[in-house]
A and B are shown apart, each in its own frame.
Chain A
Amino acid sequence: MAGENALGADFTLADDILLGDDFLRQLMSVGEVDLLVAVPTYNNAGTVEQTIRAIEDSYQQNFVRDRVVILNVDGGSTDHTAEAILNMNGKKAGVHRGITSLRTVHRVTTQYGRSPSQGTALRTILAAADLLRAKSCAIVSPATTTLDPSWVANLLRPAYRQDFAFVAPLYTRSKFQGLLARNLLYPMSRAVFGMRIRELYADEWGFSERLATECLNQNVWGHEAVRARPEAWMAITAICSGMKCCQSFLGPKAPPPPGTGPDIIEAIRQTVGNLFWCFETFQEHWMDRNGSQAVPTFGPEHDLTPEDKPSSQEKTFDLFRSGVRGLDSVLSAILTPDTHTQLRDIAAQDPAHFHFDSGLWVRTLYEFAAAYHRAVIARDHILQALVPLYRGHLYSFLLEHGESSSEEIEGDSEALCLEFERQKPYLIERWKAKN
């Protein structure tokens, strides 16, 4: 069931459901655009104004002649986030710098549901981008307090001025920030899909019209893995469809205030669950790939700032040790006997001299991925069983790199990536194994 809208674009029944009457009316009054920046919100009334100002400033500084829109998709805020956006004075930011946009900067807001869902938010954004024929789109988080107008421009330009389909961000990080990405998500995704994209799981990213349409037409939106963390799936779709990807350096990313981000269990369930799901969904694309290739990068590829060694992490080691002991029956269903024995052995080590060998870490993760593929037990249980092992590796990393320089940490990360690439045949072997 297809129809024709005022813009001349076809929309399907699914779009019709996604785009409510009021939202559709707002979009049709905007008309076609060149650039779209989306801000998914949920109770962000306190910070969203700053985010919108940064986007408007970016439009006025960098895209004066282009047709632009700011799209807010809200997950059912109770703090009047949408009203805060609509009631802002739009001219103020540009005028005080003596810059005036030649075009109206449209602001469109919609509520996609009563509870936040990154997948549904992205789907709504893609449907709107498709309808508005936006050539380049970016998504920014209102929780990012360090958002700068240059960030928006850096995310939009590669897809708008060049032929890139997916633009991953790069941030200035402190030494001990984003360690799940450094020790698991980046090296594993790099080895499997063969592309060196550091921040697959980020709050900000950019994409082209073509990729938006490609993703919108995929029948994956009901999967939990996509509902929770759709950004990596989007990047991997671009990689596996042969579209060009790049990285764009943005600047320092302030960590979320303690207690506001997902805890380690939730983070692993969302991101590693999504990554393993992508392994399965795109398995015909990565089985024959060897090694990895760098993607074009705008700005420095990495920027680590010094940070004091985190306070005592003995509890982390205790959780690793008790996890390996307590989950013996679960781990025996997931891991090979040899790997399981080695994990038991290192769990018995003295915490002061503990070392989680990178070869063992890689083998463990590949066995987890294969176990997830074969669904040896409930998939969510497999992901939860990884948590204590990650804690063990994290403890080993902190013990080893408490005083290391940025270069030493980068060198170690690169060695881990190469170990993942070296052992990729083992993943394929385990993946294809019957038991």
Chain B
Amino acid sequence: MKDTIVQGLQQAYLNLFHMISEFLPRLVVMLVIILSGLLVAYALRYVVRAILRLSKLDRLSEEAGASRVLRMAALPSMTEVLSRSIFWITLLGFVLIGISILNIAGLQEQISRLLRLLPEIVVAILILFLGLVIANFLSRAALLAAVNAGYASPNLASWSIRFGIWILAIAMALDELGVARQTVIAAFSIVFGAFMLGLAIAFGLGGQGLARSFLERSLGEKKDDKTDELQPL
């Protein structure tokens, strides 16, 4: 009885020792990988930030209205957001690789799935962000054109544009993630008609001057609808 207990304890001790002797080098490898990842992530953040500053992305972002969206969400500048995102994505990638080295049963598969999904998540976020920026820009253009032309419901055109582009961006992001693909396609098909109508209204309002001058040039006759306004120059 006593021998059995001692043997059991010895076995447990040996197993523990074996596990620790197997686990510790992996833990060290994981820490080395994470540390390397940290260095690589820092370097990448520095390089990306320098490139984006050189390319004057912040100015473009201001002009497109993206910076305003970021400020509303209490986020820093576009350059900072992108360089920090690169940092965290890189670090997360290295951490996941590091954890996978530990060979913990069950975790391996989850990590591989997450790693496979990571680029798709990044692309989906990017699609949503671009959609937000484009929606802001085009809806504002439509609003200005409608207000200056004296249309009765300028916000209708503006919101049609905004809504249409949001729907498109969300559908594209979900499709990228592979979430409820059939439902997304069906929903998108339904709203697509409405979206195109909104777009047609926006471009119609925004480009009416161009269209009018084109028609005037083509048909050779002028139709003046602003004779009530004084010549400004």
A180 to chain B, nearest CB (A): 4
Which of A159-167, A251-259, A355-363 interfaces with chain B? Answer: A251-259
B222 to chain A, nearest CB (A): 5
Please give, as numbers and ranges, the residues of chain B lying within 8 Å of A310 by CB-CB distance. Answer: 230
A323/B147 contact (C-beta < 8 A), A378-B140, A381-B140 known? yes
B65 to chain A, nearest CB (A): 5
Residue in B68, B147, B233 whose CB lies within 8 Å of A333 = B68
Q: How far is the CA of A327 from the CA of B140 in the complex (A)?
A: 9
Instruction: Kindly report which residue of chain A lies nearest to residue B65, judged by CB atoms.
Output: A377
Please give, as numbers and ranges, the residues of chain A lying within 8 Å of B223 by CB-CB distance. Answer: 259
The answer to whether A318 has its CB under 8 Å from any CB of chain B is: yes
The answer to whether A213 has its CB under 8 Å from any CB of chain B is: no
The answer to whether B59 has its CB under 8 Å from any CB of chain A is: yes
Task: Say yes or no: B150 contacts A318, CB within 8 Å.
Answer: yes
Please give, as numbers and ranges, the residues of chain A lying within 8 Å of B232 by CB-CB distance. Answer: 178-180, 261-264, 267-268
Most buried by B among A201, A255, A256, A384: A384
Task: Say yes or no: B147 contacts A375, CB within 8 Å.
Answer: no
Q: Which of B115-148 contact A (CB under 8 A)?
A: 137, 140-141, 143-148
Task: Say yes or no: A311 contacts B228, CB within 8 Å.
Answer: yes
Residue in A259, A262, A326, A377 whose CB lies within 8 Å of B224 = A259
Q: How many residues of A contact B (CB 8 A)?
A: 46
The answer to whether B64 has its CB under 8 Å from any CB of chain A is: yes
Residue in A259, A327, A394 whose CB lies within 8 Å of B147 = A327
Q: Which of A238-293 contact B (CB under 8 A)?
A: 255-256, 258-268, 271
The answer to whether A379 has its CB under 8 Å from any CB of chain B is: yes
A375/B62 contact (C-beta < 8 A), A258-B227, A326-B155, A333-B68 known? yes
Please give, as numbers and ranges, the residues of chain A lying within 8 Å of B230 by CB-CB distance. Answer: 176-177, 179, 310, 394
The answer to whether B229 has its CB under 8 Å from any CB of chain A is: yes
Q: Which of B151-177 contact A (CB under 8 A)?
A: 154-155
Q: How far is the CA of A376 from the CA of B229 in the complex (A)?
A: 30
The answer to whether B4 has its CB under 8 Å from any CB of chain A is: no
Say whether chain A's binding surface is mostly helix, strand, loop, or mixed. Answer: helix
Most buried by A among B59, B64, B226: B226
Residue in B64, B68, B150 whose CB lies within 8 Å of A322 = B150
The answer to whether B231 has its CB under 8 Å from any CB of chain A is: yes
Q: How far is the CA of A260 from the CA of B232 in the complex (A)?
A: 12
Residues 368-393 of chain A: 1 if any B CB is under 8 Å from the residue's CB, otherwise 0? 00000011111101001101100000
Say whether chain B's binding surface is mostly helix, strand, loop, or mixed. Answer: helix
Task: Say yes or no: B227 contacts A377, CB within 8 Å.
Answer: no
The answer to whether A319 has its CB under 8 Å from any CB of chain B is: yes
The answer to whether A102 has its CB under 8 Å from any CB of chain B is: no
B60 to chain A, nearest CB (A): 9
Residue in B64, B144, B150, B228 whose CB lies within 8 Å of A385 = B144
Task: Say yes or no: B147 contacts A388, CB within 8 Å.
Answer: yes
The answer to whether B8 has its CB under 8 Å from any CB of chain A is: no
A378/B65 contact (C-beta < 8 A), A259-B226, A262-B233, A266-B209 known? yes
Q: How far is the CA of A268 from the CA of B233 in the complex (A)?
A: 10
Q: Which of B174-233 contact A (CB under 8 A)?
A: 209, 222-224, 226-233
The answer to whether B63 has its CB under 8 Å from any CB of chain A is: yes
A375/B59 contact (C-beta < 8 A), A322-B147, A387-B148 known? yes
Please give, as numbers and ranges, the residues of chain B lying within 8 Å of A258 by CB-CB distance. Answer: 224, 227, 231
B207 to chain A, nearest CB (A): 13
Instruction: Kindly report which residue of chain A lies nearest to residue B141, judged by CB atoms.
Output: A381
Task: Say yes or no: A326 contacts B143, CB within 8 Å.
Answer: yes
Instruction: Kindly report which residue of chain B lies nearest to residue A271, judged by CB atoms.
Output: B233
Instruction: Kindly report which residue of chain B lies nearest to residue A311, judged by CB atoms.
Output: B228
Please give, as numbers and ranges, the residues of chain B lying within 8 Å of A179 by CB-CB distance. Answer: 230, 232
Q: How far is the CA of A307 from the CA of B88 in the complex (A)?
A: 69
Please give, as numbers and ranges, the residues of chain B lying within 8 Å of A311 by CB-CB distance. Answer: 228
A377/B150 contact (C-beta < 8 A), A260-B222, A266-B209, A326-B143 known? no
The answer to whether A315 has its CB under 8 Å from any CB of chain B is: yes
Identify the 7 closest CB pairs spanning chains A and B, nearest first.
Answer: A259-B224, A180-B232, A267-B232, A384-B144, A326-B147, A258-B227, A375-B62
| 30 A-B contacts (beta carbon < 8 Å) | A176-B230, A177-B230, A177-B231, A180-B233, A258-B227, A259-B224, A260-B222, A263-B229, A265-B148, A265-B209, A267-B232, A268-B232, A271-B233, A313-B228, A315-B150, A316-B229, A322-B150, A323-B147, A326-B146, A326-B154, A326-B155, A330-B144, A375-B59, A375-B63, A377-B68, A378-B65, A378-B140, A379-B63, A384-B145, A387-B148
Given contacts A259-B222, A311-B228, A381-B141, 5 further A-B contacts (CB under 8 A): A178-B233, A258-B231, A315-B228, A323-B148, A377-B65
